Amino acid sequence: MNRVLQFSILICLLLLPQAHAGEASNAIPCQEAPLSWQKELAYYTDRGLVPGIMVMVSSPEWGNVVSQSGVAAFGGSSPIQPDMQFRLGPLTRLLTSVIILQLETEHKLRLDMTVDEFLGGGLVPNSDKITLRDCLNMRGGIFDYRKEPMLNGETPQLGARPIVPEAILSDLWQQLRAGAGEVDAQFSPSDTGYLLAGRLIERLEKKSLPEVFQERIVKPLNIVGGYLEDGREIPANMVHGYTGMKGTMRDRTGADSLLLGAAGGFVATPFDAMHAMQAVMKTDKLISRLAYAKLSKFMNASSQREEDSYALGMVERVSNRGTFRGVEGSVPGYYTSAVYYPWGDAMLLILINTSDNEFVGNELTNEIMRRITGATLVHTPADKAEVGLTDGGLRLEWQAGFYYGETYEIYLGESENAVRKANPGSKDARLLTVDRNTFSIEVRELAPGKTYYWRVDAIRHLTDDEQDNERRRRKNLRGTYEKMPVRLVEEVERIEGPVKSFVVR
């Protein structure tokens, strides 16, 4: 295969035509998250481990809550906002898999077709054995183009747009041809398979991949400001992404974007990322539930952590706080974690504007889900209910979450903000307590016609084993990330509950 043909094929895989941007849409009314969440985020931004973090949670118990810390761009003061554009690397792979399943439903392709069948022979080694399914669940053994040394340096820039030199693409092509391994059940992380899948989509649809994303993802979900990277100017409301947190800082907002394609080039707001995850995980807006069953057919990854399983663009992880499934990972300058926990029907989105120190995202996923699953739930009266008093009082009831409290603290007041921020020393909210075996309390001195807000916190002491395990885990983490600050394990854990309200008739 001559050099010109090599270059042409990779241009088709990597370089995408221009489209038109719009304004961000799909705003979700959000409440402020508990202060303890904010402190958790600030722990990492205040120590310079990451520039900025945004966390968004959506669940029946919590509603929609958001918490931010740090900045969306160095030199500015604004944190990452839910209506800012963000490069959603791993979510792109999931959406690419969704499009593939849409095409399969339309009988335009088969998941078990080989690379030879859909892109021609000799494109990559073992192309007669590597299937489309292998490409999507990363079991093809294909060399990962993002590990190409020439792509790890500074991509030449012209204004806000990168120039991808032919030398880089030619060298990359040689690596693709020489780097494939054997096809087996081993998980072999490689984004190259998604570039191949993206090229197949273009061939079948006879359109560019950004156009297909617009028609099959963006328009059905009303993501007006979302797009697949195509070389356009950086949007004014784009969150800036960085690498070099441990040394020389580099702004990667415009760098390498054309090299991401189907493997990581989708740009949208956090609002729209949440809508996309909910559409895939919980509805049939994009694919049927039968297609979702194929999408989420998980297989263990024997070369990775034993608790992880992988499917088409998704990971499933088993933890002591339950099982979650979703996406997590990074592209240069941006980290994304978007996961669904069946426990509590909770969706969690974590966005960080650096691809360095990925452990921060992992730690936050663990800690925020601990707070969500451990919080009280099934509160009575129901949120925003209109209630009457019985003998001048009202009984508030709840159920324990994943962790039972040794005591429960109930905060009650007429200000939602005061109740949300209340602590044992607050004067703006009434504090009541009950022991571990009590899941209700009667409250009095309530005035008809008024709205009251309440919150139940679970208070518990960590067992000696829990403290020892957590110290050991943090010690190991610090051994992996030398700049990880020493963090003491607190003996007493306070898990804040969501704020609920009721109106007295």
In a domain, 286, yes or no: yes
Position 120 in a domain: no
Q: Are 303 and 412 within one domain? A: no
User: Is residue 197 over pLDDT 90?
Assistant: yes
Considering the domain architecture, whether residues 396 and 335 belong to the same structural domain is answered as no
* 415 and 450 Cβ atoms separated by less than 8 Å: no
Residues sharing a CB contact under 8 Å with residue 414, sequence separation 6 or more, in sequence order: 450, 451, 452, 453
Residues 262 and 222 reside in one and the same domain: yes
Domain span at 389: 377-504
- What CA–CA distance (Å, rounded) separates 14 from 260? 7
Same domain, 262 and 326: yes
User: Residue 58 falls within a domain, yes or no?
Assistant: no
Q: 362 and 412 share a domain? A: no
167 falls within a domain: no
Based on the fold, state whether residues 215 and 296 are members of the same structural domain.
Answer: yes
Specify if 296 maps to a domain.
yes
Q: Do residues 401 and 374 lie in contact, with contact meaning Cβ atoms separated by under 8 Å?
A: yes
Q: What is the CATH number of the domain that holds 465?
A: 2.60.40.10
CA angle at 136 for the pair 130 and 140, rounded to the nearest 5°: 30
Instruction: Give residue 300's Cα distance to chain centre.
Output: 21
* pLDDT above 70 (res 7): no
> What's the confidence (pLDDT) of residue 247?
82
Largest pairwise CA distance in the chain? 89
Predicted confidence at residue 342, as pLDDT, reads 84
For residue 275, is it within any domain? Answer: yes
Q: Which of 353, 373, 393 is the last residue of a domain?
A: 373
CATH number at residue 243: 3.40.710.10
Residue 77 lies in a domain: no
> Does 430 share its domain with 451?
yes
Domain boundary among 348, 373, 398: 373
pLDDT of residue 1: 44
Q: Are residue 247 and residue 229 in the same domain, yes or no?
A: yes
Domain assignment present for residue 131? The answer is no
180 contacts 145 by C-beta, under 8 angstroms = no
pLDDT digits over 255-269, tens only? 767 788 899 999 999
Cα pseudo-dihedral 191, 346, 241, 97, rounded to 10: 20
Q: Do residue 321 and residue 387 come from a single domain? A: no
φ/ψ of residue 201, rounded to 5: -60, -45
Min mean pLDDT across 40-49, 121-130, 337-346, 465-474 is at 121-130
Give 38-60 pLDDT, tens digit per residue. 999 999 999 899 999 999 999 99
Whether 398 and 492 share a structural domain: yes
Tell me the average pLDDT across 272-301: 91
Q: Are 121 and 128 in contact (CB under 8 A)?
A: yes
pLDDT tens, position by position, 455-496: 999 999 888 888 888 888 777 766 566 556 667 788 899 999
What is the tens place of the pLDDT at every residue in 359-376? 899 889 888 988 998 999
In Å, how far are 358, 386, 388, 447 from 391, measured between CA atoms?
A: 56, 17, 10, 13
Task: Please give the Cα distance from 92 to 260 (Å, whole number).
Answer: 9
User: Is residue 408 domain-shared with residue 440, that is, in the same domain?
Assistant: yes
**Total structural domains within the chain:** 2
Residues 409 and 485 in one domain: yes
Distance of CA 293 to the CA centre of its chain: 21
Of 344, 373, 402, the domain-final residue: 373
* Secondary structure (3-state) at 478: helix
